[in-house]
Amino acid sequence: MCREKILTDNLDRVEKIISLASQKAALPREAVSLMAVTKYAQDKDVLALLAAGRLRHIGESRVQQACLRWTNPIFAKYPVQKHFIGHLQKNKAAKAVELFDFIDSVDSLSLAETLSRCSVKKGKNLRVLVQVKLTDKDTQSGLPLAQARELAKQIASLPGLTVCGYMAIAPQVQDPQELRGLFRAVRRAFEEDFPLKERWLSLGMSADFAVAVEEGSTLPRVGSDIFARNLEDL
């Protein structure tokens, strides 16, 4: 089977799972968008899905690497929404504002203020999500839910930014069902805090995106299930 066929089959499988999960959540299918995490994907695989018109949202976590890819005219001609989903250092904020449509990992007022200044300078309205911390690991970025909610309120007054939701990375567990309570708490806060027309709740990755969508995620992030599944030996 050719590489392009495997990629589209992988994507079809993920989309089918999302459709079934959104039905369980009583969410309209069009309310849930897949973010394809392209940070570790090969360029030829990303291009194959772009050329097929299959990607709307992409996620990257390294500014320099993403810049090399998405400023290349071969990639830049495709209209996709680019999300930064990694830990952003303030000294790379200006480049991130220039390149990305969303910064999904804002976890401090000082970072938000830096993004605000850069956005205003560039005459851009940048959409941002506040990162919620769902584990007690020191290596995990983000804020506890109560602090994340307060930060979202503070960002709302900053020029050049539109805060439109929450992003969270769940702890790794053997049974994704264990995560339901964590996802549900973030969803409840999201529904209270973001009555806007454009709002995004980014929960779930390859290991747990079905459960995340069932609990209300509208922007699951999936990488390996698209760009690694059945492709390792090709």
Is 97 among the domain residues? yes
In a domain, 82, yes or no: yes
pLDDT at 196: 79
CATH code where residue 108 lies: 3.20.20.10
Q: Which helix or strand (DSSP H or E) is residue 126 part of? A: strand 126-133
Task: Please check whether residue 148 is in contact with residue 130, taking contact to mean a CB–CB distance below 8 angstroms.
Answer: yes
Instruction: State the Cα–Cα distance between residues 6 and 229, nearest whole angstrom.
Output: 8
Residue of 196, 187, 137 lying closest to 166 (CA atoms): 187
Structural domain range at position 48: 3-227
Could you report the per-residue pLDDT of 7-41, keeping only the tens digit for each?
A: 999 999 999 999 999 999 999 999 999 999 999 99
As a whole number, mean pLDDT of residues 154-169 equals 97
Is 234 a domain residue? no
Half-sphere exposure of 76 (CA within 13 A, CB side): 10
Structurally, how many domains does the chain consist of? 1
Give the chain's end-to-end CA distance (angstroms, integer).
Answer: 10
Stated length of the chain: 234
Residue 192 domain flag: yes
Compute the Cα dihedral for 154, 157, 159, 162 and give only its sign: positive
**Does 181 fall in a domain?**
yes
How does pLDDT run across 38-89, given as a tens digit for each residue?
A: 999 999 999 999 999 999 999 999 999 999 999 999 999 999 999 999 999 9
Residue 233 lies in a domain: no
Give the separation between CA 122 and CA 154, rounded to whole angstroms. Answer: 21
Task: Decide if 232 is inside a domain.
Answer: no
Q: How confident is the model at residue 1 (pLDDT cuts 50, 70, 90)?
A: low
Specify if 155 maps to a domain: yes
What is residue 15's predicted lDDT score, i.e. its pLDDT? 97
Phi, psi of 91 (to 5 degrees): -75, -5
Arithmetic mean of pLDDT, 191-199: 90
What is the per-residue pLDDT for 195? 87
| Each residue's pLDDT tens digit, 118-147 | 999 999 999 999 999 998 777 678 999 999
pLDDT in tens, 85-112: 999 999 999 999 999 999 999 999 999 9
